[in-house]
Amino acid sequence: MEVAYVYTKRRSEFGKHVEFSNGETQILESIPPTDAYDDDYQIRTTTATGTDNTPQLSETEVNTERVVMKNTSMQHKEGGWPKDVDFTEQSDVKRFRKKVEKDEEYQYAMKQLVPLVQRCMNQNNTVNIYEEYFDGNEIEHCSEPPFAKGLAVFRDPSPVTRTATSVNWHPEGSNNGKVAVSYSVLDFQDERLNNPDMLASSYIWDVSNSNKPIVEIVPPSPLSCLRFNPKSSDTLVGGSCNGMITYYDLRKPNASSGKCLPTESSVIEKSHHDPVSDVFWISSKTGHHCVSVSTDGQMLWWDTRKLDEPTDSLVLTTDSKGNGVTLGGSCLEYSIEAGPTKFLVGTEQGIVLSLNTRNKKTNNGITVFDTGAGKHQGSIPSIQRNPTHNKYFMTVGDWTTRIWTEDLKTPIITTRHHGSYLTGGCWSPTRAGVFYVTRDDGVLDVWDISHNQNEVAYSHKVSDAALSSISVQGNTQEGGKLVAVGDVNGTVSLLEVCDSLAKPRPNEKSTINALLERETKKEKNLEVRQREIKLKGKMNGARRDNGEGEVDDVGFDEELDSLEKEFMSMTSAEL
């Protein structure tokens, strides 16, 4: 059944019917202009008020009472004995013990406690809870990824922005290490060079105090490089932007006030003609000899006791006889362990030079490495030998880092191209397979070739500005953990890397040596194959000229197969 309800309404309840019609316009009200009432009204001044609902508090200070500490003695007395027992009398103590031991409650309690005590004693004898399980074991048990943390920031006191061109750690090293930083502007015709407020000073910083440098070094011209003397840590040598070499002694009277002036300076007419790229102390009986290199193509030897003129000089050329194209030196490497007469020079043209002063009289002592595909496409800002395996060295330039050996003229390892231009790098002094690379975008890359040769082990954003210099502290018990990185704004950031990047792993030296030897053998085999191909092409050309056809290459293929089998057997034996 459908139920419906209808609402109804009468016509009278709808209201009056509306009729619309057209009519003339009528003015109901006319308001006159406001100018007529200007005399009767006054303009009120605008006022602004503010309200605040925060409670008003008064500043009060309260000083708490200082706690006074003093040393007092403490007397321990034996207790727990009944009043009628004098514990100082042995006879009374023995009599009381015999009485207690005969008590049944004592015997029951001992039966309950003895098994528990024996169980605890057996556990202690089985497992030594105070044992250092991994003491003396060099195996790394940390599974966390590598990391680094910032410890301090040293800012250039100069009001004009300068570049931290070099960073050098104190050779003796300690927990409160010292860092020598040189500051200068190396851009050609930079506007900052004309600023009278720009300082020429460089500084020595203390790691424990980043607010103020401990020594201000005042050179005649801004320093482009600065280095401590490893035999006498109180002396330094620096290379200036105008090509001069300056010698500093921190023991002089003028250094006690915080400023150190040059003890000796070279004559500008007999110095470098371009800014000094790098300077190194070399092995000598007196410990006063050093060598410098510059982009003017000269390598000069000096005696810091008398800097009137260099003791020896050498022109950097592409020809071993000194008749080739002159190359501008951009970096220098010297290590006594590799040989007191051996030097490595990186050039602005991307070519690596090896020098041996022992052979200087015969053939100028210069060995030129690969000038073709193996060379860098730009200037080489850093070159350094591996601190563990001195036969191998690293070069940083353009967008790659390359590892070389003295036995070959081509690189044995080349890293992948970075996304930004590389500005410097160095090896870790404690780990044979770890090296650091600074980039133009302010990122520090850490490579660990013992783990992976194709990817960066860790990247750390140091600064928004381009990085310019780097050095790792290596002469302390915690060597390899402190890394000083400078940028183009004059800021030196002190980083502390984790133990996995600083502490050597077991058998790491032998592992890296085997890796580098394997890559060297591979490059040698490739060189042999390349010579065979060239020889085959020459012989085929000679046969064609004689009308005898091409040379049979069965012998070459057999020799190539034997070389490949020999190489694979050696690599499988090493693995």
Per-residue pLDDT tens for 334-351?
998 888 889 999 999 899
Long-range contacts of 70-79 (CB under 8 A, 24+ apart): none
**CA–CA dist 519, 272 (Å, integer):** 39
Q: Which three-class secondary structure state does DSSP give residue 446?
A: strand
For residue 257, what pLDDT is reported?
67
For residue 141, what pLDDT is reported?
46
pLDDT tens digits for range 196-246: 888 889 999 988 888 889 899 999 999 999 999 988 888 999 999 999 999
Bridge-partner residues for 484, per DSSP?
Answer: 471, 494
**The two three-digit tokens of residue 269, written as one number:** 């007419």
**The two three-digit tokens of residue 456, written as one number:** 């960066």
Q: What is the DSSP letter of 453?
A: S
Element (H or E) spanning 202, and its range? Answer: strand 202-206
Query: How are strands ordered across the β-sheet holding 342-347?
Result: 329-333, 342-347, 352-356, 366-368
- With 0-12 CB in 10 A as exposed, 13-18 as middle and 19+ as buried, what is 540? middle
**CA–CA dist 544, 37 (Å, integer):** 119
Predicted TM-score (pTM) of the model is 0.69
List the chain residues with pLDDT less than 70: 1-2, 7, 11, 32-41, 66, 68, 76-77, 129-144, 173-176, 253-257, 320-323, 360-364, 475-478, 541-560, 563, 567-568, 570-575
What residues contact residue 67 under an 8 Å CB cut-off, 6+ apart? none
- With 0-12 CB in 10 A as exposed, 13-18 as middle and 19+ as buried, what is 573? exposed
pLDDT tens digits for range 458-503: 999 999 999 999 999 886 556 788 999 999 999 999 999 988 888 8
Phi-psi domain of 2 (left: phi exceeds 0; alpha: psi -120 through 50; beta: other): beta
DSSP-assigned states of every residue in 462-490: --SSPEEEEEE--SSTTTTSEEEEEETTS
Which CATH number is correct for 148-506, 3.90.76.10, 3.80.30.20, 3.40.1010.20, 2.130.10.10? Answer: 2.130.10.10
